[in-house]
Amino acid sequence: MLKEARVAAGKTIAHAARELECAESKISRIEAAQSGIRSLDLRALLDFYGVTDKTRRARFQDLARNGRERGWWSQYEGSLNSAYSDLIALEWDASDLYVVETALIPGLLQTPAYTEAVVRMQSPDKSDEDVAAQVQVRGQRRQTFARSTPLRLWAVIAETALRPELGKDVMREQLEALVTLARETNIQIQVLPATASINVALYGPFGILAFPEPVETDIVYRDDLMSIVYYEDPKQVEFYTSLFRRLNSEALPVKRSLSIIREHLKEL
């Protein structure tokens, strides 16, 4: 169907590859049903091909989701915006995630109580049903750690995020969970001290998603509460990759970071 839409629009595989800034082989694999397609890429191609009919676009989305056979998040469509659904799908396809958090514990490492406290703080008008859905979704996102090839997560967390702003009991459970999760070989946690000079250069939390196939480009995302913004331009990706490297070098080593987490735990 994608091939038919491309041909009808008078586009070549090379045109589509340039639109997605990817290798032509990626487009060929997608059209030959040898590879799935991300929601982000699908929407970009449908726009490029001039497919505007809502019913037809929805059919494409359903086929893409069912083709992956892992779109468990579709059952929460009423509670999730499309940008968040895209993030979940991208996390599932990714091999590695490099994440920086300046005020909160990364979503994939949050306990249910911590997530609920964050959601209620950010959106006090949300119904109990919507809050429960958000908590459940965030918990299910951790299925990426249970795949046959688990997601590798490298998290740099600002020390300020370890303070009990959401309540001592909630934070105690959360820090205990961090200590436990840090024992996993595919999870690395570093703490960025409040005194680190690079703090003044941070623009807020961000993540870098890397994918297993060499033709797949890394994707950067930033969550500003109102929406999630994605960057795929090579220059933008390189900017955030360089920033992560700087943060990685200025943050405390993993063992020292765990010691800092335990110190904050003792204070609760």
Q: Where are the domains of the chain?
A: 2-68, 88-266
* Mean of pLDDT over the chain: 87
CATH code reported for the domain at 2-68: 1.10.260
Q: Which residues of 22-59 are buried (b: 16+ CB within 10 A; e: fewer)?
A: beeebbebbbeeebbbbbbbbbbbbebbebeeeeeeee
159 φ, ψ (degrees, to nearest 5): -60, -30
pLDDT of residue 37: 83
E strand spans, the chain: 96-101, 152-158, 187-192, 206-210, 219-223, 228-231
Asked whether residue 215 carries a pLDDT value surpassing 60, the answer given is no
On whether the CB atoms of residues 139 and 112 are closer than 8 A, the answer is yes
Nearest to 172 by CA among 181, 164, 180, 184: 164
- pTM of the full predicted structure? 0.76
- What kind of fold does domain 88-266 have according to CATH? Endonuclease; Chain A (3.30.870)
- Number of Cβ within 10 Å of residue 9's Cβ equals 15
Distance CA(39)–CA(236), nearest Å, equals 21
In tens, the pLDDT along 117-126 reads: 999 998 899 8
pLDDT of residue 213: 66
In tens, the pLDDT along 141-187 reads: 998 898 888 999 999 999 999 988 888 999 999 999 999 999 999 99
- Fold identical between 2-68 and 88-266? no
